[in-house]
Amino acid sequence: MSAPSASVSAPAPSPSASGTPSSAALEPAVPFIEIEGLRTEQFIPAAKEALSSLIAEQAQGKLIRPVFNWAGRNSLFPLHWGLACCAIEFASAFGARFDAERFGIVPRSSPRQCDLLIVNGTVTWKVAHKLITLYEQMPEPKWVIAMGNCATGGGPFRTAYSVVPGVDKLVPVDIYIAGCPPRPEALLDGILKLEELIRERGE
């Protein structure tokens, strides 16, 4: 009795709908070396992309960001805006005697050119939405100083129905300056403290 012979036949290429074999079926099986080549082709661009984004991230963290931080904190542009009696001290700080511009602080009249909002007076609920609009029109990064007791917590008008008990109820405040009113030197001190804060935050 003869042993049954095993026969393995190669799979025939499947004909396409038109009757001719499809191009995928005609292609030989991919050798191992080609698979390795394919992996390399995919790996090198991916590695290049990852490396360049890492370098860009490092450059941004170690070079660009500190330069922007240094330039930004030494050239603060406060909004040219006054609310009440503290605004007189604000104006005085930019006069010849106190000369705030020697610190690179230049008031601008458009919120779109400003990065510092100095709230220098009593904030009423009537003006609150305008203050928020001005703040939102300022580009990032931006900072807020509450100058004087009124801006900090309502001051002598804290219990009045029409007064906001602190501008931090409306916008985030970075520096508070006490006084009724604070002198121009106190405003300059507050701005220098803000510069230190910006340096620490690295923004």
Q: Which of residues 37-76 bind ligand SF4 (CB under 6 A)?
A: none
What angle do helix axes 86-93 and 184-201 make, rounded to 10 degrees? 80
HSE of 181 in the Cβ direction (CA atoms, 13 Å)?
Answer: 20
Q: Minimal CA–CA distance to 177: which of 94, 121, 106?
A: 121
Residue selected from 85, 127, 192, 197 as contacting ligand SF4 according to rule CB under 6 A: 85
Q: Minimal CA–CA distance to 101: which of 191, 201, 173?
A: 191
- Which window, 42-50, 80-88, 92-100, 127-135, contacts ligand SF4 (CB under 6 A)? 80-88
Residue selected from 94, 122, 146, 166 as contacting ligand SF4 according to rule CB under 6 A: 122
* Closest CB 154 distance from ligand SF4, rounded Å: 9
Please tell me whether residue 107 binds ligand SF4 under the rule CB under 6 A.
no
Number of residues that bind ligand SF4 (CB under 6 A): 12
Nearer to ligand SF4, 85 or 91 (CB): 85
- DSSP labels, 12-73: PPPB-TTSSBPHHHHSPPPPHHHHHHHHHHHHHHHHHHHHHHHHHHHHIIIIIHHHHHHHHH
Residues 72, 141 contacting (CB under 8 angstroms): yes
Binding mask 136-165 for ligand SF4 (x = CB under 6 A): ------------xxx----xx---------
CA distance 74 to 10: 78
Please tell me whether residue 111 binds ligand SF4 under the rule CB under 6 A.
no
Residue selected from 78, 107, 153, 181 as contacting ligand SF4 according to rule CB under 6 A: 181
Please tell me whether residue 180 binds ligand SF4 under the rule CB under 6 A.
yes
Q: What amino acid is encoded at 6 in this protein?
A: A
Residues making contact with ligand SF4 (CB under 6 A): 84-86, 121-122, 148-150, 155-156, 180-181
